Amino acid sequence: MVIKPPVQGLNGRLALAIAAAAFGSAFQHGYNTGVLNAPEKLISQFINTTVHERTGSYLDEGTLGLKWSIVISIYCVGGVIGALLTGIIADKLGRKGGLLWNNVTVLIAAVLLGFAKAAGSYEMLIAGRFVIGFNNGLNAGLTPMYLSEISPMHLRGSIGTVYQLVVVISILVSQILGLEPLLGTETRWPWLLAVTALPAIFQLATLPLCPESPKFILLNQGKEIEAQKSLTWLRGTIEVHDELDDMRAEYEAMKLVSRVNLKDMFTSASLRMPLVIACMMMLAQQLSGINAVIFFSTKIFESAGLDTLTSQYATLGMGAMNVAMTLISLVLVEKSGRKTLMLVGLGGMFIDVILLFLCIKFQDSAAWISYVSIIFVILFVVMFATGPGSIPWFLVSELFSQGARSHATSIAVGVNWSANFIVGLTFSPLLIAIGPYVFLVFATILGLFWLFTFFKVPETKNKTIEEISAFFRQRGYN
């Protein structure tokens, strides 16, 4: 009798490669996204007193607010640059090589962030945020690409979802560590920021044990024997002929066409449509209003009568729901498919955000309405985690064959970070200008992305990359 593993194709070595790549990179991304929420007042006051020590005068609210928003937003600028360099780095150093080298930037950032207070320099904070942003932008491109390339076809979506799973877990970890009894104090906040070095050390210890992506070795470097070794290691069996044959066929097909350059991405009809789809899914994730709702959550909880501490715990509960739903979507993505989950998620968010708008608009007319809005806030996050949170990261890898994948990833992830940057800059002014109507703006955007997904996005579940790119060629898509 043959005992089957619980999930076909998953074995200890593949799990190690997934953990080494995802934990060592997505942790940086999630952690640094969330880490400055809790200690905002502490770090602002540090900037204020630093300036006072240098110049003898304190900062007024406007100038301090401006310096703080630089600390926050320079992170996305670094992210955009890192993302745009993904393609070059992934092809020159490899997926694994790029990830390993990227840990150098984490260590630099951790030193800058961790010693800024001791050195009395808020400029070090700004520099550190830029460097860690660069690291995160690059990770968000390299890791989903590596994960997708080492996965067996029927697990590609689940393994790709691990990236977002680690992101949401580490956002939660950053919020918990930022609480006052832990690292959220005047003396301990530098430690809170320096924690980001730990996953880098983990990755430096584990990823060298894992092989480079077999697809990269064969299709980019043309080394057949090494590719076979890598695949054998990852699958835990020497019976990898079928998979290797598929890769070889892709290699032969690739040799017939000229190398894809950046310009082809925009001019070739069979590349342009998948690129538009990948970028639209990235935009759907960032423009959905998720950050706005999370930003609003504490206020909504407080207006429902929860005190500040309870509201903080409710925010943590919301983060936990995000983790739980992302975990569920990791299974669903191979059963229902990517397109279905994107449609359910975006559609659910669309309806939810309209109801949330009504609740906020009429919350003074009855006490129970505030409680209902708590439910809608949590449901919004759950719907986000169903698909829009995780799928865009790995879908771009699925939509392109080897020759175009790294360029496509660069562009799509660059679009993601740019949108993140723009939402961060415009949300507050928009909120001041139009108040809760900002939720209707998000509803409109969600509706449009739902329609786009319904009409244009193909299902990629259980299809080989060759089948997916053949689909775009045949459609003569324009």
Ligand X SMILES: *[C@@H]1O[C@H](CO)[C@@H](O)[C@H](O)[C@H]1NC(C)=O
Residues that bind ligand X (rule: CB under 6 A) add up to a total of 6
Site for ligand X in 353-392 (CB under 6 A): none
**Does 69 engage in binding with ligand X (CB under 6 A)?**
no
When the beta carbons of 66 and 182 are compared against ligand X, the nearer one is 66
When the beta carbons of 64 and 372 are compared against ligand X, the nearer one is 64
Query: Residue 153's closest CA among 477, 472, 474, 467?
Result: 467
**Does 47 engage in binding with ligand X (CB under 6 A)?**
no
When the beta carbons of 11 and 49 are compared against ligand X, the nearer one is 49
**Does 42 engage in binding with ligand X (CB under 6 A)?**
no
Structure-block tokens of residue 93: 């150093």
* Alpha carbon separation from 140 to 92, 292, 406 (Å, rounded): 17, 21, 12
Query: Residue 170's closest CA among 292, 380, 351, 28?
Result: 28
**Does 59 engage in binding with ligand X (CB under 6 A)?**
yes
When the beta carbons of 7 and 64 are compared against ligand X, the nearer one is 64
**Does 43 engage in binding with ligand X (CB under 6 A)?**
no
Q: Which residues of 416-437 are buried (b: 16+ CB within 10 A; e: fewer)?
A: bbbbbbebbeeeeeebeeeeee
Per the CB < 8 A criterion, the answer to whether 300 and 374 are in contact is yes
Structure-block tokens of residue 249: 């066929």
Q: Which of 3, 12, 55, 61 binds ligand X (CB under 6 A)?
A: 61
Q: How far is the CB of 59 from ligand X (least distance, A)?
A: 5
What type of residue is 436? Answer: P
Q: Which of 28, 33, 48, 409 binds ligand X (CB under 6 A)?
A: 48
Structure-block tokens of residue 245: 């044959």
Distance separating the N- and C-terminal Cα atoms of the chain = 52
Q: How far is the CB of 120 from ligand X (least distance, A)?
A: 15
Span near ligand X by CB under 6 A; candidates 55-63, 161-169, 268-276, 278-286: 55-63
Per the CB < 8 A criterion, the answer to whether 278 and 395 are in contact is yes
* Alpha carbon separation from 330 to 164, 389, 468 (Å, rounded): 10, 11, 21
Q: Which of 7, 16, 19, 64 binds ligand X (CB under 6 A)?
A: 64
Per the CB < 8 A criterion, the answer to whether 341 and 450 are in contact is no
When the beta carbons of 185 and 340 are compared against ligand X, the nearer one is 185
Q: How far is the CB of 349 from ligand X (least distance, A)?
A: 36
Q: How far is the CB of 186 from ligand X (least distance, A)?
A: 12
Q: Which of 5, 58, 299, 462 binds ligand X (CB under 6 A)?
A: 58
CA angle, residues 245, 472, 87, in degrees to nearest 5: 70
When the beta carbons of 48 and 143 are compared against ligand X, the nearer one is 48
Q: Which residue is nearest to ligand X (CB)?
A: 48
Query: Residue 145's closest CA among 171, 163, 166?
Result: 163
When the beta carbons of 62 and 476 are compared against ligand X, the nearer one is 62
Structure-block tokens of residue 431: 């909120």
- 3-state SS class at 184: coil
Span near ligand X by CB under 6 A; candidates 59-67, 77-85, 104-112, 254-262: 59-67
Q: How far is the CB of 34 from ligand X (least distance, A)?
A: 23
Span near ligand X by CB under 6 A; candidates 22-30, 52-60, 94-102, 162-170: 52-60
Helix 338-361 and helix 368-386: axis angle, to 10°?
Answer: 160
Q: How far is the CB of 348 from ligand X (least distance, A)?
A: 40
Residues at the interface with ligand X (CB under 6 A): 48, 58-61, 64
